[in-house]
Amino acid sequence: MATALPAMDVSPSPTPGLLQVVTDLLLLDYRRCQRRAYLNRFGDESEREPERDFLIKLRQESQRHIQTVLQTEYPQYRQPQAPREDYQAQTEETLALMAQGAEVIYGGRLSQAFGEVAATGEKILLLGAPPLLVKQTGHSRWGDWQYRPLSIHLGRRPKPEYKILAAFYAHLLSHNQGQTPAGADLILRQGNRFRVDLREWLPRFYDALSDYLTTLCEQREPEVFISRQRCHLCHWQSHCYGLAQSQKHLSLVPGVTPSRYESLQKAGIETIAQLAYGAPDPLADLLGPALARQLQRQALALVEKRPFRRQHTRSFPLPQAPVELYFDIEAEPERNLDYLLGVLVVEGESHRFYGFLAENPEQEGEIWQTFLALMAQYPTAPIFHFSEYEAETLKRLAKLYPSPGLDLRRLLGRCWDLHQIVTTQAICPVENYSLKSLANWLGFQWRDGAASGDQSVCWYDQWLTTQNYVYLERIVQYNEDDCRATWRLKQWLESFLSSEGA
């Protein structure tokens, strides 16, 4: 099932004797973001940010996940012993283990000379490192057995990029064992398995590989597109964001997705200002009246640096009470743990912060009971939070740690999600509707500019490892600032929603 590409020059400055190596990780980067893959190859290293703590943590979790799968399901595995950097020796050892009929091979390498560089005759080398190769009945050049690839990922669902990588490994197996495997498997978080249909995903892999090689061949820098979810951990984020700002790029407008961006380009709209002041009728024909108006008003808010009320929404006043509570949580998804329940109690001019912190995971139930005791002191106070996670966590903890006398329905009835309110009632001059973005626009600053939810998780892991209280202090400070930012947002919303000119 192998394929071949036409000869192409993929080297920025061809040098005879060198190989152009395409690895599974490079292809994965390309699938996630073409621009990141390009910058990894041709970008200015001085503009590349250091790797973030959270990425290092994810890599460590991934390795632990792999080790758990090995120990519980494939303890009989064998692996190449050559140094990791010597891919040729590792490839030879992998093939030798396959020829011997090893039941399971962990950490193997597979390669294939694939195509040719036109200008110099250099070879394109495909190089993959399938986490596991599992022996099964079939045919190969060694006898009546063959191997199928098994990939292990931390994700909860079988993402397209996982399937592309599985097809990459299947392609390399096809070349090396002389037979395409019948299928490829994924093991995801919590041991969930998924079978990859190679009839569908091998052609998609070939398309992705062809696109990647063409990008390298032409040295064509992909256009910038800012996506908060995709970009926030990338080491080129600051570089790309600066470029997008200088271009007044449309991806900075909340609601402009890649597909909508393509539609706007077709309409000749290239900048935020053009979107803000463009004729409404062509946009309505292109995107539909409601979406066109939403995007135009969002662009107008950014250009004119002022908020607008959303039209056709029911107006309602936010509750005011002698005592108001502002609630924020720090959580560790990997452990399914909420390790800090923070509450800012606002009573007139008095602001008192309570950080109920689990110094170890076993204390989660204790901080939940302490939190409930504080709630009972203010039985009618409204509870303001930012995102639905806080309310969902109350449900989870109430089920996990039953508390006599707790009226969960009443507690949830006191909760007000300011994210839901601001996104349905207001159009703000922000590039995304995160708490940090909104609060920064309102003039609020976190004491630690590098703090984030992801960083808080890393600090908690570092606390558990080192028992250094500095990490706990940074977590508590960050959570308190989140609560104070939520209070600042509520103050603005209260004024804005009651304003005649809003």
pLDDT value, residue 217: 73
Q: Assess if CATH 3.40.50.300 describes domain 323-497.
A: no
Secondary structure (3-state) at 234: coil
20 phi and psi, to 5 degrees?
-95, 105
% of the chain at pLDDT higher than 70: 93
List, for residues 27-41, the tens digit of each pLDDT value: 888 888 889 888 988
List, for residues 313-343, the tens digit of each pLDDT value: 666 678 989 999 999 999 998 889 999 999 9
- DSSP conformation class of 52: P
Domain at 248-306, CATH from 1.10.150.20, 1.10.10.10, 3.40.50.620, 3.30.450.20: 1.10.150.20
pLDDT value, residue 492: 96
pLDDT class of 123 with cuts at 50, 70, 90: confident
List, for residues 367-418, the tens digit of each pLDDT value: 999 999 999 999 999 999 999 999 999 999 999 998 888 999 999 999 999 9
CA distances 180 to 25, 97, 174, Å, are: 22, 18, 4
Secondary structure (3-state) at 314: coil
- Please give the model's pTM, rounded to 2 decimal places: 0.85
Cα(442)–Cα(449) distance, rounded to whole angstroms? 16
237 phi and psi, to 5 degrees?
-60, -50
List, for residues 436-491, the tens digit of each pLDDT value: 999 999 999 999 988 999 999 999 999 999 999 999 999 999 999 999 999 999 99
Q: Is the pLDDT of residue 4 over 50?
A: no
| Domain residue extents for the chain | 20-218, 248-306, 323-497
Nearest of 499, 497, 500, 502 to residue 318 by alpha carbon: 497
Cα(242)–Cα(80) distance, rounded to whole angstroms? 44
| 26 CA to centre of own chain | 17
CB 418 within 8 A of CB 490: yes
Cα(289)–Cα(276) distance, rounded to whole angstroms? 15
CB 382 within 8 A of CB 414: yes
List, for residues 87-117, the tens digit of each pLDDT value: 899 999 999 999 999 999 999 999 998 877 5
CATH of domain 20-218: 3.90.320
